[in-house]
Chain A
Amino acid sequence: MSAFFTLLKRDLRLALRDGGALGTALGFYLIVVSLLPLGLGPDLNLLSRIAPGILWIALLLAALLSLSRMFETDYEDGSLEAIAAGPLPLELMAGAKALAHALTTGVPLVVITPVLALMLNLDLKAYPVLIASMGLGIPAISFLGSIGAALTLKTRRGGLLLALLVLPLYVPTLIFGISAVNAALSGPQGASSSFLILSAVSLVSLVVGPLAAAAALRIQMQ
């Protein structure tokens, strides 16, 4: 288990020191969300109605941007093979990398969401539910994403292929993330069933993601 945390610590340190992936994701999120009111016009009712959907979709796309680098950087400099020859099963290795992605991309994106929600005039009641639903969805985004990142490891310019593979897997997370927010706006108890399903999707992806990613990596590293 200490090897797992050693690897996680290294990936977190690399993400902090390089900073490029996080900056790109945050910048993309900020720009997409701030362009929207310009495109749609200053209709505050319309903006606040579509705000949860816009924020969720922009978050997914922003997280997708840095996904392709999850295994690629280590593959390019040869460390992936040496890590694979270490004590950690490939499944746990993929899990550590997905967790590092969640912590360095997903969490910062969720943290700046309230600021962006202001620009879209989101109903104040919806803030806690929106943040909670994104927090619950983040593991699904990173762990399901790790499957796509592993499958496109050796594909040059694999970004589009990655999006085609991964975005369909995000559909349940997106649907229940937004329905949690909408339910919270319509009644006091409405969000809990969506939260349960959202958590279930994330829990399943915590298991399925590393297993599938490790299987893909085994093929890719041949």
Chain B
Amino acid sequence: MVQPLKLILENVSVARGTRTIIADLSLTVAAGEAVLLTGPNGAGKTTLIRALAGLLAPSAGRISVDGGGEEDLAQQCHYVGHLNGLKASLTVAENLQFWADYLPGHPSAGSVGRVHNALARLNIDALADIPTAYLSAGQKRRAGLARVLMAQRPLWLLDEPTGSLDAASADIVCQLVDAHTANGGMAVIATHLPLAIKAPRTLQLGAKIAAEAA
């Protein structure tokens, strides 16, 4: 069980260079909530996710996690961006084993057990000993997403998690998110595909951009 947490954004603006992408956004994500970020291309979904992951400093406002430990934002979240963070010459299991050993672990399960468990849950256990260079885009995506299961962190930040996945795999990812939120975790997911997640909140970004374009 993850301790009850809250992700709080207070009047957050994020700029890339001189362009303000996100302006004056306030949002609270409570424990057990999943938020879907939607919006047209260029609306700032990725920018917001990267700001939440602590990779971009907001130009105004504050992003904080309430009730968390002393770790900063970056260490309380799993960020899986467009890139999967896999090493082509390592096998799927070796890639995951590194993350299991590197990220501060789950107290109950050993790191080897966590890798097997994650491979099974994402239905890629048959690929465990294949170098990731030989995987298809969807298989790589699943192996990349398996990283979030390597260490328990309250906030999942997923950027287009199902972009290259088939329907069955997308369902698996949705089930993982459901299990995470049922366990008191939080998820912020940028997507332009409908996701079969239980009771998501949807945040539409870039309505203004869409209106200007119309």
Contacts and interface: CB of A to CB of B under 8 A. Distances in A.
A222 B102 contact: no
Interface stretch (A2-10, A41-49, A150-158): A2-10
Interface in A69-111: 76-79, 81-88
A87 B104 contact: yes
A79 B87 contact: yes
A171 B148 CA distance: 45
Contacts of B103: 86-87
Contacts of B85: 77-79, 81-82
A77 B89 CA distance: 12
Contacts of B74: 84-85
Contact of B81 (A3, A10, A78, A222): A78
Interface in B11-50: none
Main secondary structure of the interface of A (DSSP, over half): helix
Given A84-B74, A85-B79, A14 B104 contact: no
A81 B53 contact: yes
A176 B102 CA distance: 39
A85 B53 contact: yes
A81 B55 contact: yes
B54 A78 contact: no
B109 interface: no
A125 interface: no
Contacts of A87: 75, 102-104
Interface string B102-117: 1110000000000000
27 contacts: A2-B101, A3-B102, A7-B102, A13-B90, A13-B94, A14-B87, A17-B89, A17-B90, A18-B89, A77-B85, A77-B86, A78-B81, A78-B83, A79-B85, A79-B86, A81-B53, A82-B99, A83-B102, A84-B74, A85-B53, A85-B54, A85-B78, A86-B102, A86-B104, A88-B102, A221-B55, A222-B57
